[in-house]
Structure 1
């Protein structure tokens, strides 16, 4: 409940509820925000161009004024685009050296360290941090330095993830946060957030959640700070098994990242992995693609590595099937081994039967391969059968309820001699809507069994010939024809009856689509049947 109250406050406070009624889901709001991402990026670029124009203006600027403008440009780029942020950080250092200002020189080193760490360049980050003279920094910059250094050690700990180096990196990160906390204003956002981080890395998740909630509850947060705090709180919820709360926090963080044009982020791809585990394949796919695009735009090497870690999650659903196949292979291997031993024994006793036994061995091996293929097909067929039996029961139950209600109402009207109203009831049945609902249900259950069907099917064609689905479509008529074939309905007559087309129309659809394929026609349906169920 506390999480939902905090999330509602954030949505209202930062304008994330704009253009949405209260009962719409957070994910719908995130999807809308994604559609507006280019607008937020254009606003960011507009501010950047104004600063650049000021920097190259005709009137002469002092080195101090140039430094201040470059610092503003750095702040615009630091979570937006790595190479530009790095360039302006270098310019800050160059200007500071021209001014012979040791405080600014060291401050520029902190900025360089931040962008290098954000890009995943650990060695280079360490080099820059090592030469910074922290004693020449003012308190605010010194706090920023220690906070950056703590993140550097914590990232090294996460990256090494072993029992030897990781604990020492974690200890060093904690020591740096301790130094930063002395310099932060008590109960400020940075103070509360870094306390939460300290406790999180120490394994004290309850205390970490407490301080992250304090950070989230600050009234003067920037949108970027909102993203940082909610994403961190979401990570605590993930580690404590509160998946619903984690999804809420990561969704808010992802929206805030988009609104602040933050490309160096983790919230979106963490949200994608959470939704994939909840079998929301459509949104998970959209969000992981967006996260990959952001990481590539920013130039974040570390984020690209982290994104590659989500692939095992996508494959995770197949582990049980693979384990079952391994057990079957072990049993068959044991049987074959026993048969081979028997053949050897028989060969020693009856030498004259050797060639016949060898032939029998080859026959058994071939039969084993055939049996294995049959078993795999049976397993897939059973999966399809189970899903569609459940689907049919559900649909039939729904239709029985409708018929029961219709019969009861019709009996009542007939008993009251209201024949015209009975005729109205009959004419009011929307067969088109019922048929479309039937198709939607079929599409949904089919994609649960074959989530990669559309992607694999489109790979049979050139890009310009691939089937493009509308926003609200799961499958269309072309795809449904071949979806029915994939689950074993090959007869054009049956397909025509199901889809309510003529047999000639179905034949024309199939021929037209196969003619566009880049694979041989005779291999088309074989390749179609090779599309695997989840």
Structure 2
């Protein structure tokens, strides 16, 4: 399809959809990493939860061990049957197995100890299947701990044809994992180890039920190794969709899916599933994990050095806690690289901080210079204002002289015309001077506005310290308002007082209204919005509200009708 032939509207819609989808995916990835950060903060809570489970199992084990010891030391021990003794050892074996399962992904040393306990119990019971099961558990732990020779020795002591189906599955799985570790962590003979790994994987697939999760997981692993990533992806997504809770199995499939996307080069989905796997491992206190390490490497490659450093550090702590030497070695090779990049980034940030501090210092010096300049300009403006006042006084005097000349030349038409011409000329000059003064004030206002627009707020505030002009103009404004209003409503104060109780009535002082009277004068003029009244009287809305409420409380008429009575006061008088 040729995009150039598509209508421009369709191309624009496609572009907007793509941009919106990309932003949505980026936000989703960031929220997932934030959830992982929160899980890391809560890691001690999850660890305490696992420790509590282990403590309960140990308490049960201690209780059973005590009962067995008491029975063995009793004088009536002869009456204890061999079957009872066997059942007790079976219970010990089961509890040791639970402790082994609890410790296996958490602390390999302890898991090895309980597997050895079970091996001893199995030998006492002469139960060949339990002996084989314990050996398989030990071999898996030895492989994790990097004791490959010990793991191989144990596996060689077992005969596959003497094992039941479940143990045979574990046997092939153990060999497959052993050779996988050897191939991943040993450069020598890695090709041969991969061949053995593939052979045991195929043997495993032959005995597993094709519909089982284990089969699907092993088959997805094979498909991924063969480069059939899409098929492996479908299988792993099916496995994940079938899980209702985020358990260790969920973490394993998510990690496997992350590795598939890593092989495909899909960084976004790779990081998503490594993060999901890491969150699941953290919430289940799984210390033997690889997802956090893999995610750290991926984030390092995409430039998120802070998170990469944090995750690789926590991954190293988990590997040391779990006593997984192979993982510790791998992480120790990666950690210095990420750490060096992280240190370099911090150094660059410190350099930028110094740069910005210098820049701020320079700007501060510039601001000080600007303040001095504005102060000088203000002094010039003040001087101009004084000169204008002097000119205004001269114009007033000239106007008086013109009036005197006009009276003296009243009888002479030519002199009257001349006087009128002179008067008009002086009035014109006066208006020009006033106009110039207004223009200068406007220029001053524009100058201040320009500074405000350019972001020099500190400078602007410093230039506006004096409030004398504003106070004078406000006083004149309120005086003019009072005179005009009382001319229009000469009986307003009397009528207003008639609405109040006698002891709470107002008196005019020097012919001026007070704040309360001005508020209700504005109401009489039809301005009922408290915000507008507050703006005119230069006070807060709460103050206006308090004044209105206070005066209403003094009313002779019903409080709710008081303001309606005020609006009806007086009639406009004619001039």
Give TM-score, length-normalised by structure 1.
Answer: 0.54
Q: 1:220 to 1:147 in 2, by over 3 A?
A: farther
1:120 counterpart SS class: coil
Q: 1:144 to 1:42 in 2, by over 3 A?
A: same
* Residue 276 of structure 1: how far off its partner (Å): 1.4
- Equivalent position of 1:282 in the other structure: 306
- Equivalent position of 1:150 in the other structure: 176
Structure 1 residue ranges, 4+ long, deviating more than 4 angstroms after superposition: 21-24, 315-318, 429-432
- Equivalent position of 1:247 in the other structure: 271
Residue 120 (structure 1) aligned with residue 146 (structure 2): yes
1:52 to 55, 58, 66: 58
> Which runs of no fewer than 5 residues in structure 2 stay unpaired?
1-26, 69-86, 364-444, 459-575
* Higher relative contact order (Cα pairs below 8 Å, separated by 6+ residues): 1
1:179-218 matches, cutoff 5 A: 179-218=203-242
Distance in 2 (CA, whole Å) between partners of 1:221 and 1:109 is 31
Instruction: Check whether the contact 1:170–1:201 (CA below 8 A) recurs between aligned residues.
Output: no
* Residue 48 of structure 1: how far off its partner (Å): 0.8
Distance in 1 (CA, whole Å) between partners of 2:316 and 2:55 is 26
Residue 270 (structure 1) aligned with residue 276 (structure 2): no
* Residue 217 of structure 1: how far off its partner (Å): 2.5
Residue 29 (structure 1) aligned with residue 35 (structure 2): yes
* Residue 23 of structure 1: how far off its partner (Å): 9.5
Q: CA RMSD in A?
A: 3.4
* Residue 136 of structure 1: how far off its partner (Å): 3.0
- Equivalent position of 2:96 in the other structure: 70
Instruction: Check whether the contact 1:276–1:284 (CA below 8 A) recurs between aligned residues.
Output: yes
- Equivalent position of 2:413 in the other structure: none
- Equivalent position of 1:134 in the other structure: 160
Distance in 1 (CA, whole Å) between partners of 2:256 and 2:29 is 26
Distance in 2 (CA, whole Å) between partners of 1:236 and 1:219 is 19
* Residue 157 of structure 1: how far off its partner (Å): 1.5
Residue 170 (structure 1) aligned with residue 155 (structure 2): no
- Equivalent position of 2:324 in the other structure: 300
Distance in 2 (CA, whole Å) between partners of 1:431 and 1:65 is 79
Instruction: Check whether the contact 1:140–1:183 (CA below 8 A) recurs between aligned residues.
Output: no
Instruction: Check whether the contact 2:213–2:239 (CA below 8 A) recurs between aligned residues.
Output: yes
Q: 1:199 to 1:430 in 2, by over 3 A?
A: farther
* Residue 150 of structure 1: how far off its partner (Å): 0.6
* Residue 138 of structure 1: how far off its partner (Å): 2.2
* Residue 71 of structure 1: how far off its partner (Å): 0.4
1:197 counterpart SS class: helix
Instruction: Check whether the contact 1:234–1:249 (CA below 8 A) recurs between aligned residues.
Output: yes
Instruction: Check whether the contact 1:48–1:76 (CA below 8 A) recurs between aligned residues.
Output: yes
> Which runs of no fewer than 5 residues in structure 1 stay unpaired?
1-20, 319-379, 397-418, 433-534
1:83-98 matches, cutoff 5 A: 83-98=109-124
- Equivalent position of 1:235 in the other structure: 259
Instruction: Check whether the contact 2:251–2:280 (CA below 8 A) recurs between aligned residues.
Output: yes
Q: 1:254 to 1:64 in 2, by over 3 A?
A: same
Distance in 2 (CA, whole Å) between partners of 1:196 and 1:22 is 27
* Residue 285 of structure 1: how far off its partner (Å): 1.3
Task: Decide which moves more: 216-225 or 46-55.
Answer: 216-225
Distance in 2 (CA, whole Å) between partners of 1:388 and 1:177 is 59
| Residue-by-residue CA offset, 1:15-45 (whole Å, 9 max, x unaligned) | xxxxxx9897111100111111111111111
- Equivalent position of 1:40 in the other structure: 46
* Residue 92 of structure 1: how far off its partner (Å): 1.0
- Equivalent position of 2:82 in the other structure: none
2:67 counterpart SS class: coil
Residue 101 (structure 1) aligned with residue 107 (structure 2): no
Instruction: Check whether the contact 2:243–2:250 (CA below 8 A) recurs between aligned residues.
Output: no
Q: Which structure has the larger Rg over C-alpha atoms? A: 2
Give TM-score, length-normalised by structure 2.
Answer: 0.50
- The number of residues matched between the two structures is 315
Q: 1:294 to 1:169 in 2, by over 3 A?
A: same
Distance in 2 (CA, whole Å) between partners of 1:74 and 1:112 is 10
| Residue-by-residue CA offset, 1:336-383 (whole Å, 9 max, x unaligned) | xxxxxxxxxxxxxxxxxxxxxxxxxxxxxxxxxxxxxxxxxxxx99xx
1:211 counterpart SS class: helix
* Residue 431 of structure 1: how far off its partner (Å): 7.6
| Residue-by-residue CA offset, 1:393-419 (whole Å, 9 max, x unaligned) | xxx9xxxxxxxxxxxxxxxxxxxxxx9
Distance in 2 (CA, whole Å) between partners of 1:221 and 1:140 is 25
Q: 1:128 to 1:121 in 2, by over 3 A?
A: same
